[in-house]
Amino acid sequence: MALDRPLINVMLLGLAYMLVFTSFQTQGNMQQVVIDSIQKEDPSFTGSGYISLAVIYAVFATMNWFTPSILAYLGPKLTMIIGAITYSIFIASFLWPQTWLLYLVSVIVGAGAALIWTGQGNYLTLMSDKTTMSRNSGIFWAMLQTSMVFGNLFVYFKFRGEKTIDQQTRLVVFSALTVVSVIGLLVLMLLPKPSADNGREDQKSSPRAELIKSVKLFQTKEMLLLSVTFLYTGLELSFFSGVYSACLSFTLRFADSKMLVGLSGIFIGCGEILGGAVFGIFGSKTIKFGRDPIVLLGFLVHIVCFFLIFMNVPSVAPFGDTYDPVYFSGGEPNAVVAMLCSFLLGLGDACFNTQIYSILGSVYSDNSGPAFALFKFTQSLSAACCFFYASVLELHYQLIILVIFCAAGTLTFCMVEWDAYRKENAKKPVTHAYEDDDDKNYS
């Protein structure tokens, strides 16, 4: 794998996102637990981690209709930088916890998320072609998801043995996370702007034209089918990033439930890294068999995972501390199974997301801004819905929803992939074996 200039830029992009999301994903993974601890110290604080995350993803979804226009005006680099600034503001706000501030910065980072992810999808596409898109998306995904390991290692050792997360611990954790996010912002500033050679038509369009493109693209059959897959990735993203870790923390039958928050994030990150690395390094080989086998693998991994979570975690765990028994023999949850589920959540997520990046970057290479914005719109809309219902639905009902959308999203992705394969084959000239035999007979 030669280190050409576009690949170096992709790796630099991955490093920047690794740093920014080391902070944000770690914070999101423990947000409800932290807020629960704040409320025990200060009853006047009435903020909800689930509602905050729901607001973030609702604004994220709305803003995705406008980010292609902003991207066309600012370009991908500046768009990503502005988005990264909002992440640093959001993380720093936990140094001074206030209910009104929590929801205000949730709105701000929701808008910033739309900017940073639409800019990223466009930049990655501009640094790739059809032969390198699978490789580059896998490499970026693996580097991004190392954030789950580094941040949560810190949380694991810092929270170890603690029943609540006190003010001094929160000060150390969120100060460190803020500094890391700012370093990631500085790395983004080092990214070179895409050269004229890399430019495509979508960069030269006017903001109004980009909005029209988005609306028209969303109405196509392929994008409507892919939207079902996007919806599922949003549901499972919100589940593993905010709901599952909180459930482990609130399940007091575990020996050290608070410690499992960071440990769960580490195992999710390991699954993400393994999936991204394998599909990145071997992307040129796996693409020969199509994207659908990898998505089918993700489907099987997640179905097994959801069953194990059903057996191992109490249904009322999303709502707060519980001593309820589980379905395993003796009613005691198993920490090893809990961490296995975390790993499977990450691995399955990598299967889906790397192939989504690959198909969008290949099929919509000349329309990447609107395509990635629609992906993030649909994904963040379903993530917002998940965080809203997470505060009222028991865990087992949430798992049923995930199973239904996992099956539907896998089916619709395969339909689009099979259709793309059929169209690609239709373009190839057909050579019949008997033509070669005739040539030999006449020679």
Residue range 316-331, pLDDT digits in tens: 998 888 999 999 878 8
Residue 124 domain-assigned (yes or no): yes
Q: What percentage of the chain reaches a pLDDT higher than 70?
A: 87
Better-predicted residue by pLDDT, 129 or 341? 341
Residue 434 domain-assigned (yes or no): no
Better-predicted residue by pLDDT, 22 or 365? 22
Same domain? For 32 and 173 the reply is yes
What single-letter amino acid sits at 200? R
Same domain? For 18 and 160 the reply is yes
Give residue 222's Cα distance to chain centre.
Answer: 21
What single-letter amino acid sits at 205? S
Residue 443 domain-assigned (yes or no): no
Same domain? For 242 and 383 the reply is yes
Q: Which of 139, 137, 134, 89 is nearest to 113 (CA)?
A: 89
Residue 285 domain-assigned (yes or no): yes
The whole-number pLDDT of residue 278 equals 83
Neighbours of 426 (CB within 10 A): 8
Give residue 425's Cα distance to chain centre.
Answer: 32
Q: Provide the token pair at 323.
A: 């001593």
Question: Contact at 8 Å (CB) between 346 and 240?
Answer: yes
β-bridge partners, 251: 322
Same domain? For 283 and 382 the reply is yes
What's the mean pLDDT when you consider all of the chain? 84
**If you average pLDDT over residues 2-22, what whole number do you get?**
88
Domain of residue 406: give its range.
Answer: 206-425
Better-predicted residue by pLDDT, 263 or 104? 104
Same domain? For 407 and 290 the reply is yes
Residue 434 has pLDDT above 90, yes or no: no
Same domain? For 295 and 242 the reply is yes
Better-predicted residue by pLDDT, 412 or 209? 412
Residue 433 domain-assigned (yes or no): no
Burial 387-396 (b: 16+ CB within 10 A, else e): bbbbeebebb
Same domain? For 77 and 12 the reply is yes
pLDDT tens per residue, range 204-239: 556 677 778 788 888 899 999 999 999 999 999 989
Query: Whole-model pTM?
Result: 0.77
Q: Can you give the CATH number for the domain in which 163 is found?
A: 1.20.1250.20
Q: Which of 135, 170, 193 is the last residue of a domain?
A: 193
Q: Environment class of residue 200 by beta-carbon count within 10 Å: exposed (0-12), middle (13-18) or buried (19+)?
A: middle
Same domain? For 283 and 252 the reply is yes
Give residue 337's Cα distance to chain centre.
Answer: 23
pLDDT tens per residue, range 30-47: 776 788 888 888 888 888
What single-letter amino acid sits at 32? Q
d(Cα 386, Cα 403) in Å, to the nearest integer? 13
171 Cβ contact list (under 8 Å, min separation 6): 95
Neighbours of 280 (CB within 10 A): 25
Same domain? For 166 and 270 the reply is no
d(Cα 406, Cα 301) in Å, to the nearest integer? 11
Same domain? For 220 and 180 the reply is no
Same domain? For 340 and 239 the reply is yes
Only one residue has tokens 């994903």, namely 25
β-bridge partners, 322: 251
Q: Based on the structure, what is the number of domains in the chain?
A: 2
Only one residue has tokens 């995972």, namely 305
Residue 436 domain-assigned (yes or no): no
Residue 64 domain-assigned (yes or no): yes
Residue 439 domain-assigned (yes or no): no
The whole-number pLDDT of residue 139 equals 86
pLDDT tens per residue, range 169-207: 888 888 989 999 999 999 999 999 876 445 444 445 566
CA distances, 105 to each of 17, 96, 387 (Å): 20, 12, 17
Same domain? For 257 and 349 the reply is yes
With the C-alpha atoms ordered 18, 71, 376, 357, is the resulting torsion angle positive or negative?
Answer: negative
Better-predicted residue by pLDDT, 331 or 436? 331
